[in-house]
Homo-oligomer: A and B are copies of this chain.
């Protein structure tokens, strides 16, 4: 990977400790988030308000995440396809709730090819409508079901308060769209995606613990009969919706006439689902794992898992040998041989970028036939490791530290969730973390009061943690929090 990000050191204004480079999480968390994104070279603001430039280091994380997600999506039997960016404005009108929900966020193309368009086209905010149109064409009989489609694409929603990765007017995502013969099949598939695809990626790839649940009516996707979510807890105790899986009932099937001939010759309306996950997941990774020294990237999605720093010219050759050994062990490794630049500044750069393992190789280390290993995902204390044990030590550390990140995040997720009984107690508890309380204690009016305090019901669960079939089930638990 030599010759890549390596040559471009962010300007740290000569600082050699990150403290002075980043705002601290405690004093100004939002500012810390922005600082990390800038200093770790993850992304920049785009020229059109709310858009984002994803820089190579940030995109490298996204590529690895995409790969992991894509593999799991295909394992459910879904196939990738691609539908147009531009949707006739009239398509959105066909599903009443849908158009009402998305109209305020639409970007509209009125002119093209030097002329005004007869019908304006909107840039897809999501593709249920255009995909529904084609599902109707492609689905003839029960043989054609289930139809399981997914696409990797960009989408545009004009955001009032854009924030890099979390809420950008243009974002990258995968959006899955499926059609089924029955309500039960659709529900089963939407649920399978939530757990087997999304939760598996969040927990086992991003090392992010999540709370699965059902959204309340007011938090539901526009046009859905049920929205399921995975909610993560950020470093400052807020909630971040990591993805959603929707049961669309027959709403879009009715609007786009997606019907099929059943095995006993009846014309039936199909049942559809949609589900999506976006570049926001990278924002989640930053907020869940980052610390005052910068980013911390889980090894599974780290473009650079190990960086080997040659402290002096005379150690460059040995550093390159170490890189070869580690690459042979299947790791993604980079050598930093910029010996003409201050060592401290280079070290800080890799700390900021959250590279899991940093190996420092100086003349003294080499004389002792050893190298200094710094585990960024732990406490960054330095350990001298004999060169003969270096590869095995690093391989074990990588696995252990991936697990460590998840444990750390899980401990916080649990510790900062307080069980309460009333909305007032929930408002108090959710000022510093999450509150869980009986949904019965909230109700419509309770959701209004939470809104006044800048809080929402993030999701509903049964007491055993499973998902309710509807909001009217007794004994439902509601998770309440402030959110990004």
Question: Chain B residues with Cβ under 8 A from A84's Cβ?
Answer: 46-48, 51-53, 170
Q: Which residues from 172 to 205 on chain A have a C-beta closer than 8 Å to any C-beta of chain B?
A: 172
Say whether A80 contacts B109, CB under 8 Å.
Answer: no
How far apart are the CA atoms of A144 and B11 in the complex, in Å?
Answer: 12
Say whether A7 contacts B80, CB under 8 Å.
Answer: no
The answer to whether A85 has its CB under 8 Å from any CB of chain B is yes
Say whether A107 contacts B109, CB under 8 Å.
Answer: yes
Question: Chain B residues with Cβ under 8 A from A62's Cβ?
Answer: 82
Chain B residue nearest to A172 in the complex (CB):
B82
Say whether B53 contacts A79, CB under 8 Å.
Answer: no
Chain B residue nearest to A149 in the complex (CB):
B56
Say whether B104 contacts A80, CB under 8 Å.
Answer: no
How far apart are the CA atoms of A133 and B113 in the complex, in Å?
Answer: 25
The answer to whether A130 has its CB under 8 Å from any CB of chain B is yes
Q: Taking each of A3, A79, A121, A133, which has the highest tally of chain B beta carbons within 10 Å of its own beta carbon?
A: A79
Question: Chain B residues with Cβ under 8 A from A109's Cβ?
Answer: 107-110, 123
Q: How far is the CB of A70 from chain B (nearest CB, A)?
A: 9
Chain A 48-61 per-residue mask, 1 if CB under 8 angstroms from chain B, else 0? 10011111100110
Chain A 94-125 per-residue mask, 1 if CB under 8 angstroms from chain B, else 0? 00000000011111111111100000010100
Say whether B112 contacts A103, CB under 8 Å.
Answer: no
Say whether B156 contacts A53, CB under 8 Å.
Answer: no
Say whether B51 contacts A80, CB under 8 Å.
Answer: no
How far apart are the CA atoms of A155 and B441 in the complex, in Å?
Answer: 51
Q: How far is the CB of A83 from chain B (nearest CB, A)?
A: 5
Q: Taking each of A56, A137, A170, which has the highest tally of chain B beta carbons within 10 Å of its own beta carbon?
A: A56
Question: Chain B residues with Cβ under 8 A from A140's Cβ?
Answer: 11
How far apart are the CA atoms of A53 and B54 in the complex, in Å?
Answer: 26
Question: Chain B residues with Cβ under 8 A from A3's Cβ?
Answer: 77
Say whether A79 contacts B133, CB under 8 Å.
Answer: no
Question: Chain B residues with Cβ under 8 A from A11's Cβ?
Answer: 140
State which size class the interface on A falls in. 35 or more
The answer to whether A13 has its CB under 8 Å from any CB of chain B is no
Question: Chain B residues with Cβ under 8 A from A428's Cβ?
Answer: none
This protein's copies in its complex:
2
Say whether A83 contacts B134, CB under 8 Å.
Answer: no
The answer to whether A364 has its CB under 8 Å from any CB of chain B is no
Q: How far is the CB of A214 from chain B (nearest CB, A)?
A: 28
A87 touching B47 in the complex, CB below 8 Å, given contacts A77-B3, A79-B4, A123-B109: yes
Question: Chain B residues with Cβ under 8 A from A144's Cβ?
Answer: 7-8
Partner of A107 from the list B81, B112, B149 (CB cut-off 8 Å) is B112
Question: Chain B residues with Cβ under 8 A from A104's Cβ?
Answer: 113-114
How far apart are the CA atoms of A106 and B114 in the complex, in Å?
Answer: 7
Question: Chain B residues with Cβ under 8 A from A60's Cβ?
Answer: 79-80
Question: Chain B residues with Cβ under 8 A from A112's Cβ?
Answer: 106-108, 158, 169
Chain B residue nearest to A80 in the complex (CB):
B59
Chain A 68-93 per-residue mask, 1 if CB under 8 angstroms from chain B, else 0? 00000000010111111111100100
Question: Chain B residues with Cβ under 8 A from A107's Cβ?
Answer: 86, 109, 111-113, 121
Q: How far is the CB of A40 from chain B (nearest CB, A)?
A: 14
Q: How far is the CB of A148 from chain B (nearest CB, A)?
A: 8
The answer to whether A154 has its CB under 8 Å from any CB of chain B is yes
Question: Chain B residues with Cβ under 8 A from A86's Cβ?
Answer: 46, 48, 51, 107, 156, 169-170
Say whether B80 contacts A53, CB under 8 Å.
Answer: no
Chain B residue nearest to A168 in the complex (CB):
B84
The answer to whether A329 has its CB under 8 Å from any CB of chain B is no
Chain B residue nearest to A47 in the complex (CB):
B88
The answer to whether A314 has its CB under 8 Å from any CB of chain B is no
Q: How far is the CB of A306 from chain B (nearest CB, A)?
A: 18
Partner of A154 from the list B7, B54, B85, B108 (CB cut-off 8 Å) is B85
The answer to whether A420 has its CB under 8 Å from any CB of chain B is no
The answer to whether A153 has its CB under 8 Å from any CB of chain B is yes
How far apart are the CA atoms of A104 and B113 in the complex, in Å?
Answer: 5
Instruction: List 25 A-B residue pairs with CB atoms under 8 Å apart, sorted by A's residue number.
Output: A8-B143, A8-B144, A44-B134, A44-B137, A46-B83, A46-B84, A48-B88, A53-B81, A53-B84, A54-B82, A55-B81, A56-B81, A59-B79, A63-B80, A82-B172, A85-B156, A86-B107, A86-B169, A86-B170, A107-B111, A108-B109, A109-B109, A109-B110, A112-B158, A153-B154
Closest 9 A-B residue pairs measured CB to CB? A113-B158, A56-B79, A46-B84, A51-B84, A54-B82, A107-B112, A108-B111, A48-B86, A112-B158
